[in-house]
Amino acid sequence: MRSVLVSFDGLETSCLPVAEAVVNERDLRNRLESLWRIPSELQQIVWNGVRVADGTLLNVAGESFHTAAIKLRGGALKGGKGGFGSMLRSIGAKAAQRRNGGLLTCLAA
């Protein structure tokens, strides 16, 4: 029995047992959809460090385990513009200006 160590953006890792010597990429994505509830059409598989095309046959013969990383197609989940992060950056910038202004005022005097 062979195993595929699968990680999703470093957040979740699972070990999937594989009986066959060759696995279809679509079958692997479908198994991961049932495991992690991430729709298979949003998954992109990186197999042993190489991004694979849809329907590629993945060879698991030879080694006892292989690695696969799952990335989201399109780069990220759809959603808002990230207003909270923007707000935190602007607050940090204002705080830095206040600190620097105070320091520069002391040095100029």
Class of domain 2-72: alpha beta
pLDDT digit string, tens, across residues 18-72? 888 888 999 999 998 998 888 888 899 998 888 999 999 998 887 767 888 888 8
102/96 Cα distance (integer angstroms): 10
Which pLDDT score is estimated for 27? 92
Could you tell me the pLDDT band of residue 8, with boundaries at 50, 70 and 90?
confident
Q: Is residue 69 within 8 Å of residue 14, measured between CB atoms?
A: no
pLDDT digit string, tens, across residues 82-108? 666 676 677 766 665 555 544 444 444
Which pLDDT score is estimated for 105? 46
Residue 77 one-letter amino acid: L
Show me where the domains of the chain are located.
2-72
User: What average pLDDT score do residues 72-78 get?
Assistant: 67
Which pLDDT score is estimated for 107? 46
Residue 95 one-letter amino acid: A
47/63 Cα distance (integer angstroms): 14
DSSP code at position 56: P
39/34 Cα distance (integer angstroms): 9
Q: What kind and span of H or E run contains 29?
A: helix 25-36
Ramachandran region, residue 46 (left: φ > 0; alpha: ψ -120 to 50; beta: rest): beta
Edge-to-edge strand order for the sheet containing 65-72?
12-18, 2-8, 65-72, 43-47, 50-51
